[in-house]
Amino acid sequence: MASTIPIRRILLLRPSALGDVCRTAPVLASLRAQWPEAEIHWIVQSAFCPAVEAHPALTGVIPFPRSEFRGALTRPWKWLAMRKWLTSLSHEPWDIAIDCQGLARTGLMMRASRASVRVCDRAGREGAWLAANRRVEVPIGIHEVDRMLSLAEAAGATVVPDATLYVPDEATAWWDASCGERPDGPFAVLATTSRWTSKAWPESHWVDLAERIIQSNRVAWIALPGSPSEHALVAGIADAMHARNIPVVNYAGQTDVGQMMAVIARASFTVSNDSAALHMALGLGARCLGLFGPTDPAIVGPWNRPDLALRAPLEDGEQAAYRDKTLGDSIMRRLSVDVVFSHMESLSRVWGS
């Protein structure tokens, strides 16, 4: 049992996606509280490292260069590079490895680590559970954070409900140095994009919401985050806002993950689709509101904060799967601007913004 052997080195596996990386912070906090003297290292997709590297509970980050290994099954030279990387995980002994993701690639990582105790959800996909010697039966329907925390408990840790995230120093310095490149005054972040169309609130709704926010005089301008691949989409929304004389800055593709954290940390509040920005905002002060449709906020929404989520109404008996491409934004469209703005206003009064 993990509780009966000295725990000196712990490996946490949650390399992606960015939102999931952000909401794994309570697992890290729980491990650190249980083993204050242990080294804790976290395998994170290279681009996402800034999301966690400044966390004081973390000893170090192990970057996972996923893009470099993509297509390894058909490109032998990439497989050799990946094999070398996997082998490097066992260069020093691990006492515990916890696979919070539960996919084939994380199963390979955990197996390669040769950790004495290897913990995984028994329902891990793609055979990930085969790499574990401690397989956890997790109740169906619980929040994703609680699912991951059950793995930490199985390793011997007591749950610490701390989802705090920390902005890297260099990102804070970037924000301070860029003050002349943005409007003055308080601002709101509107995270308008989503990988899945079914999770995306309609663009016209975002523009209407931005106009209502500016007219309320709670903030002076709007910040729009996004990835490089989303720059053109966000630019279209920014243009629509400019057309209504809404002061807006398009940060899509212009910031790395750490800089995006710095923007969200300085915002008066963040309104977001079910995306990474929401979980980031939760960990940076919980001044946020998440908009949901086909996904259930009780499972993937702001952890322990149901007041920070709004879900579009579903019809009686309706089964909504966000991967269903035929959905489009039909469900998200049911969530009106009036409802979102009203809820945002009530939260803003609590936040004092």
The 10s digit of each residue's pLDDT in 206-264 is 999 999 999 999 999 999 999 999 999 999 999 999 999 999 999 999 999 999 999 99
The answer to the question of residue 49 being in a domain is yes
In a domain, 161, yes or no: no
Assess if residue 164 is contained within a domain: no
β-strand partners of 221: 187
CATH number for the domain that contains residue 143: 3.40.50.2000
Domain boundaries, position 62? 2-155
3 state DSSP class of 313: coil
Q: Given 155, 180, 205, which residue is the final one in a domain?
A: 155
Question: Could you tell me if residue 163 is inside a domain?
Answer: no
The pLDDT assigned to 316 comes to: 78
Q: Does residue 302 fall inside a structural domain?
A: yes
160 occurs within a structural domain = no
Domain membership flag for residue 211: yes
Q: pLDDT band for position 1 (50/70/90)?
A: very low
Same domain, yes or no, for 20 and 145?
A: yes
Does residue 236 fall inside a structural domain? yes
Cα distance between residue 301 and residue 272, in whole Å: 11
Tens-place pLDDT, residues 55-64: 999 999 999 9
Domain boundary among 155, 178, 201: 155
Give CA–CA dist 126/124, Å, rounded: 7
In three-state secondary structure terms, 325 is coil
Q: Are residues 198 and 347 in the same domain?
A: yes
Q: What is the DSSP letter of 132?
A: -
Domain co-membership, 313 together with 250 = yes
Average of pLDDT values for 180-196? 93
Torsion sign (Cα): 320, 324, 327, 328: positive
Asked whether residue 107 falls in the same domain as residue 220, the answer is no
Shared-domain flag, residues 146 and 72:
yes
46: Cβ contacts below 8 Å, ≥ 6 apart: 63, 64, 65, 66, 67
Q: Are residues 142 and 198 in the same domain?
A: no
48 and 124 in a single domain? The answer is: yes
**Which of 32-36, 127-131, 162-166, 184-188 bottoms out in mean pLDDT, i.e. has the lowest?**
127-131
For residues 151 and 206, membership in a common domain is answered with no
Total domains in the chain come to 2
Residues 144 and 247 in one domain: no
- Domain final position from 106, 132, 155: 155
187 and 74 in one domain?
no
**Co-location of 293 and 319 in the same domain:** yes
Is the same domain home to 97 and 24?
yes
